[in-house]
Amino acid sequence: MDPVEYETLRHMWFPVARVADIENGVASGSILGEELVVYGDERSVTVAEGFCPHRGVALRLGQLREGALECPYHGWLFEAGNGRCTRIPSLPPGRGRPHAALRTYAAEISYGLVWSCLEDPFLPLPRLPEYVDEAWQLGAGEPYTLNCGMRQLTENFRDKAHFPFVHAETMGDVDQVVESYRIVRDGWRLGWSSSLGAEGIPEEFSHHLDYRITLPVFASICVSSPSGGRRLVAQVTTPVSADGLRVRQFWLAGTDAVSTAQGAELADVLAYERQVFEEDHPIVENQRPVEAPLDLYSQVHTPADKFSITYRRVYTELLESYKARQ
């Protein structure tokens, strides 16, 4: 990975675990090759370096004891929040405790995910579109680990021309032609809308799609059905390896109050979206180069690729803007 991109991403928020995965108090995560431990509960979490400063045991094997993290090897105890070691069981009474602390990182809980940022955040924690309010039901699906570039996966999520080829089973017979669309930019957010029709179906019976992305990688699609209900799928991809070519794909699904009242089950939406993602995986893990090139002249484009081109341009601008801050 380009050093400027690596540095920039160290200043970005990424999910490291689902809140559901810290049910027993401890989970693991990784950003850009930094292995992390997550400990706490659904109200308050700490994200810290993943290995014990004593003998380097993986702290994800530890357990939560009165809100603190206990190393599984010799029982050293690390406080919530600041990671300070507050107990070394092998010390005889009266002996001073050597100074030890885990390096901790920024940690936030949002949309059922634990987010962290390795350095001072350059951008705020990204949000879903404003219309996703408390009346929505949201769920975080089981994340996937994939061998592909973070931006490649983000572009796939936004790519409509692949629907009839990759998603024939889940989406049926959708239009192959991608009508031209207009992208609206607001700071580091991009958005556009389109409809998902099928041949011979009048416009008023087609679904409308609202695409949003907050750079670098928080993307969502809200689908409004002709009956008035809305459902949402969102994806946010964490680069887990330092070269960014191994990622963890976190994702959310949601239903609004209208679709819930109409009988839509969040579990069904999650199951459907899981199937859609699994159809994409053999594609995104078999692209070369593994990461989407920022050089716009190295691949051939069509008007349907307008999003990818804009995304690559704005992403390059984001790297430049981070660099200019230095």
Q: Does 57 bind ligand FES (CB under 6 A)?
A: yes
Piece of 76-84, 88-96, 234-242, 273-281 that binds Fe ion (CB under 5 A) = 273-281
Piece of 64-72, 189-197, 257-265, 275-283 that binds Fe ion (CB under 5 A) = 275-283
Alpha-carbon separation of residue 57 from 71, 194, 281 (angstroms): 8, 50, 33
Q: Does 52 bind ligand FES (CB under 6 A)?
A: yes
**What gap in Å lies between CA 326 and CA 315, rounded to an integer?**
17
Q: Does 74 bind ligand FES (CB under 6 A)?
A: yes
The two tokens of residue 72 are 């599984």
CB 257, CB 135: distance < 8 Å: yes
Q: Does 280 bind Fe ion (CB under 5 A)?
A: yes
**What gap in Å lies between CA 162 and CA 158, rounded to an integer?**
10
**What gap in Å lies between CA 128 and CA 222, rounded to an integer?**
10
Instruction: State in angstroms the smallest separation of the CB of 71 from Fe ion.
Output: 42
**What gap in Å lies between CA 51 and CA 58, rounded to an integer?**
5
* 280 touches, from ligand FES, Fe ion, none (C-beta below 5 to 8 Å by class): Fe ion
Q: Does 54 bind ligand FES (CB under 6 A)?
A: yes
Instruction: State in angstroms the smallest separation of the CB of 26 from ligand FES.
Output: 13
Q: Does 155 bind Fe ion (CB under 5 A)?
A: no
CB 229, CB 211: distance < 8 Å: no
- C-beta closer to ligand FES: residue 6 or 73: 73
Instruction: State in angstroms the smallest separation of the CB of 56 from ligand FES.
Output: 6
Q: Cα angle at 158 between 19 and 311, to 5 degrees?
A: 100
- Tell me what percent of the chain is helix, strand and coil, each rounded to the nearest 5: 25, 30, 45
Taking CB under 6 A as the criterion, the residue among 19, 22, 71, 247 binding ligand FES is 71
Instruction: State in angstroms the smallest separation of the CB of 156 from Fe ion.
Output: 6
Taking CB under 6 A as the criterion, the residue among 55, 97, 185, 301 binding ligand FES is 55
The two tokens of residue 12 are 């970005």
Bridging pattern class, strands 68-70 and 104-110 = unpaired
* 301 touches, from ligand FES, Fe ion, none (C-beta below 5 to 8 Å by class): none
Q: Does 73 bind ligand FES (CB under 6 A)?
A: yes
**What gap in Å lies between CA 118 and CA 106, rounded to an integer?**
7
Residues at the interface with ligand FES (CB under 6 A): 52, 54-55, 57, 71, 73-74, 76
Residues at the interface with Fe ion (CB under 5 A): 280
